[in-house]
A and B are shown apart, each in its own frame.
Chain A
Amino acid sequence: MGWVKDTVKSIQLRHTLTQIIQLGLIVTSALVIWKGLICITGSESPIVVVISGSMEPGFRRGDILFLHMSKDPIRAGDIVVYNLDGRDIPIVHRVIQVHERQDIDETYILTKGDNNPMDDRVMYNHGQKWLQQHHIMGRAVGFLPYVGYATIIMTDNPVLKYIIIGALGLLVLTMND
């Protein structure tokens, strides 16, 4: 009867391996899509979630923006995502002034949030008057409301995030088919 035991064991082993591979497939396909989007859009973070109300009523907390980093020059009115030197969190605001140099390939940009009373100079680093090309991470081209709210809830409650990730992982590993 030893061979029956061995067969059952190998089936169980194969089952576990299949489940691990499936979990890997889910993780890697998510990664492939993210990296693919980066390649297509040319922006290092092609999808961002709005976390402040400075662009209300156009964009609210929890809305999702699709970014694109095209070769087209930045112009007044564009909604850009920029990252100041030494800061972690990128900002989504509208361009209200552009000065494009003749002699060198440089553009000086001033931004403002639609819902803010003042332009962004007060938020820039000390002594910084303009944004330049290298601060710009992308330009908003599309918009989906509410979808990003889950991310905000999870960022606000990190415990919830680990519970959800743990539960999902457990479900994937224990599902029997």
Chain B
Amino acid sequence: MTTLILGDNYNAKMVSPGFSFSLCLNMHSFGYRANALLTFAVTILALMCAMASLTDNFNAPTPTAHVQVFNINWFQKQPNGNDEVSMTLNISADLQSLFTWNTKQVFVFLAAEYETYKNSLNQISLWDGIIPSKEHAKFWIHTSNKYRFIDQGSNLRGKEYNLTMHWHVMPKTGKMFADKIVMPGYRLPEEYR
């Protein structure tokens, strides 16, 4: 701080034009001190944001998830030729360990993932939710799929697929994190119903 005020005004400006808010007037004028204070405040704030984001790296989360396909409600071919399935899911998860002091919210979603002869990867989000706080991060939900499960084509009969629980951690500031738990070994019925 002292060096900021007493430092050579002219030199400081040549070194970092535009960054020191170098619109100051005389060396000890109000304008110059206000400028130094503002520069200092912005620097400290930026540093604190960066450090808050860095502390997220020390958190080693151990989330768990379990999903059961409770029922296939219906399963049919649309007039345009795409398969569509409606299912009821039991989802339980414990994502409490994802929360740190820099966590604003956790976005969690369940996706069906499978491969077809045409597509090397199909990812279809079936359900999602926003968890605002740690208290809500351990949950159990019984729901039918929130988004339609429609294939690009007619490949779903007897199709084996993974259900993957993804989460995206939105920080109060800084870097966003994402990870997932893959649950393999689900299979759709052989016949439309």
Do A114 and B107 have beta carbons less than 8 Å apart? yes
Q: Are A98 and B23 in contact (CB under 8 A)?
A: no
Decide yes or no: A143 and B123 within 8 Å by CB, A25-B18, A96-B109, A176-B25 being known contacts.
Answer: no
- Chain A contacts of B101 at CB under 8 A? none
Q: Is B172's beta carbon under 8 Å from chain A?
A: yes
Is A57 in contact with chain B by the CB < 8 A criterion?
yes
Residues of chain B lying within 8 A (CB to CB) of residue A102: 117-120
Interface residue B93 (Cβ < 8 Å from any Cβ of A): no
State whether the Cβ of B160 lies closer than 8 Å to any Cβ in chain A. no
CA distance A25 to B119 in the complex (A): 52
Closest 6 CB pairs of A and B: A25-B17, A96-B125, A76-B123, A26-B18, A98-B123, A100-B121
A177 touches B107 (CB 8 A): no
Which A residues touch B121, using CB under 8 A?
98-100
How many B residues touch the partner, as a band? 35 or more
User: For A99, what are the chain B residues with a Cβ–Cβ distance below 8 Å?
Assistant: 119, 121-123, 152
Cβ–Cβ contact A58 & B105, under 8 A: yes
Number of chain A residues whose Cβ lies closer than 8 Å to a Cβ of chain B: 36
Whether A143 pairs with B147 at a CB distance below 8 angstroms is no
B119 touches A177 (CB 8 A): no
Which of B107, B109, B121, B130 has its CB near the most chain A CB atoms (within 10 A)? B121
Asked whether, in the complex, the Cβ of A168 is within 8 Å of the Cβ of B171, the reply is no
Cβ of B23 and Cβ of A171 under 8 Å apart? yes
Binding site for B on A (CB under 8 A): 22, 25-26, 29-30, 57-58, 75-79, 94, 96-103, 108, 114, 119, 140-145, 168, 171-172, 175-177
Q: Which residues of B contact A77 (CB under 8 A)?
A: 107, 109, 111, 125, 166, 168, 178
B1-32, CB under 8 A of A: which get 1 and which 0?
A: 00000000110010001110011111000000
B105→A75 contact, CB < 8 A: no
Taking a contact as CB atoms under 8 Å apart, the answer to whether B178 and A175 are in contact is: no
The answer to whether B173 touches A144 (Cβ under 8 A) is yes
Q: List 24 A-B contacts (CB under 8 A).
A: A29-B19, A57-B130, A58-B104, A58-B130, A76-B123, A77-B107, A77-B125, A79-B168, A96-B128, A97-B124, A98-B121, A99-B121, A99-B122, A100-B122, A101-B118, A108-B152, A114-B128, A142-B53, A142-B174, A143-B176, A144-B174, A175-B23, A177-B24, A177-B26
Q: A143 contacts B170, CB within 8 Å?
A: yes
A143 and B171 form a contact (CB under 8 A): yes
Residues of B within 8 A of A75 (CB): 123
CB distance from A87 to the nearest CB of B (A): 24
Q: Assuming A25-B17, A101-B118, A119-B147, is B152 touching A140 (CB within 8 A)?
A: no
Given contact pairs A99-B123, A143-B171, enumerate 18 new A-B contacts (beta carbons under 8 Å). Answer: A26-B22, A57-B105, A77-B109, A78-B178, A79-B176, A96-B124, A96-B147, A97-B124, A100-B119, A102-B118, A102-B120, A141-B176, A142-B174, A143-B175, A175-B23, A176-B25, A177-B10, A177-B24
Q: Are B120 and A100 in contact (CB under 8 A)?
A: yes
| Interface-central residue, A30, A99, A172, A175, by most chain B CB under 10 Å | A99
The distance from the CB of B8 to the nearest CB of chain A, in whole angstroms, is: 10
B184 interface residue (CB < 8 Å to A): no
B112 to chain A, nearest CB (A): 10
